[in-house]
Amino acid sequence: MPQLLEQARLEPRDSAFAQELAFSTIRWTQTYDSIIDKVSSRPVKDIETTLLNAIRLGAHQLLQMRVPAHAAINETVNLIRQVCGEKVVGFANGVLRRISEKDFNSWLELVSRDEKSNTAMLSLRNSHPEWIVRALQQSLKSDGIEGSIEELLEANNKPAHVTLVALPGLSKRDDYVADGGFPTNFSPYGFSIESGNPGDLEEVRRGSVRVQDEGSQLPALALVEAKPVTKNEQWLDMCAGPGGKAALLAALAEQSGAHLVANEVQEHRAKLVANALAPFSDVEKTVLDGRSFGDSHPNHFDRILLDAPCTGLGALRRRPEARWRKSAEDLKQLVELQYELLESAYKALKPGGQLLYVTCSPHLSETTAVITKAVKNLGVQVQDLTSVMNEKFMQGTLPTNRKTVQLYTHRDGTDCMFMALITK
């Protein structure tokens, strides 16, 4: 999308309109398809894809944007005429006019009336696949807050403010707060902006400021603050792509006198890591399979960040397409990979060192289940990260009934990051 917007050379207002239209239509696809199904003379599954996408765009303008109905219908019909031909214009016009007869909440009541289960109703009303709704419910239940499931689903459907990190040693957050930015609640280096393109900031182009959710800033901070840093420590970011956490870790390493190794197995992502780390001289970049890293570097690192590949269910508000790209079937392979990486990272960790296992997902299979298996099979020691985070960053807001940390978008205002601190 950023590339398309740049090519189109849109004015800021039109650019914001295009992003809202695209991202939110993707978010609400399931709900809009149910509405279209109600008013269409043919099932959604039989509507040609380009035509269906155009109708979805029209539905979003009619139901959730401040676009007058006649303008939304007219512009959508003109688009359909251009990309699909005259033959389907009458059909599309009829569907859009029927959609315009009710407001969004009335349609939600109508399409969810026949759902048999609460999970199915939540899925349809909030446009999340049922397997994701169940996974989020189970995660919330493990923390005793299952009653807030609808709040979490609603938070996933609200576009987040752009959050950035001012890399310590290269820039200062206070400069951006003084210029109209808003400091993040927990990260001392984070700030957000309500509008505008962060790419327009000179500091972003230079690399001293990065776009990064507060939830993604906290793992690097947690790893460094878990215990005092001693001179010449060896640090590893095992799965560093695309380089956001690695850049913050590199800035902190430079200030602490530590040496950072940033590893990424995929060549194209390794190039992104190299670009992200360009401002830092003392960072070693490797392109290796993390699963064998422990065998080649046994008992070598004082601190290891393992930001494991995952379903990404914790960042649905920022990546609306992720809910449709992932499936429950993806979990088995991902969980196996996560455990193999954790096993390798544990081998690479010095006795007494600190290993932070991180996923941008609250799915229990990717979080506590992986750690429980590691405790059983590897004898890892799980430290009380909750106490560290409450004292250093979270101002006592985390529940104290667990050692690992699970952030939630609706409660903490961050992506749903999971963190577990391990030593041996």
Closest CA to 185 of 412, 23, 369: 412
The strand pair at 349-359 and 301-307 is best described as: parallel
CB atoms inside a 10 Å sphere around CB 153: 22
Q: Which residues contact 307 (CB under 8 A, 6 or more apart)?
A: 219, 237, 238, 239, 240, 245, 358, 359, 360
Which residue carries 């870790």 as its tokens? 249
Q: List residues with catalytic annotation.
A: 360
Asked if 308 and 341 touch (Cβ cutoff 8 Å), the reply is: yes
How far apart are the two ends of the chain, measured CA to CA in Å? 44
Give the number of residues written for the chain.
424
Q: Tell me how far apart the alpha carbons of residues 52 and 55 are, in angstroms, rounded to a whole number.
A: 5
Three-state secondary structure call for residue 353: strand
Q: Tell me how far apart the alpha carbons of residues 269 and 277 are, in angstroms, rounded to a whole number.
A: 12
Residue type, 339: Y
Q: Mind giving me the DSSP string for 191-243?
A: EEESSS-GGGSHHHHHTSEEE--HHHHHHHHHHHHSSPPPTT-EEEETT-TT-
Asked if 408 and 137 touch (Cβ cutoff 8 Å), the reply is: no
Compute the C-alpha angle 143/144/150, nearest 5°.
95
Q: Tell me how far apart the alpha carbons of residues 113 and 115 are, in angstroms, rounded to a whole number.
A: 6
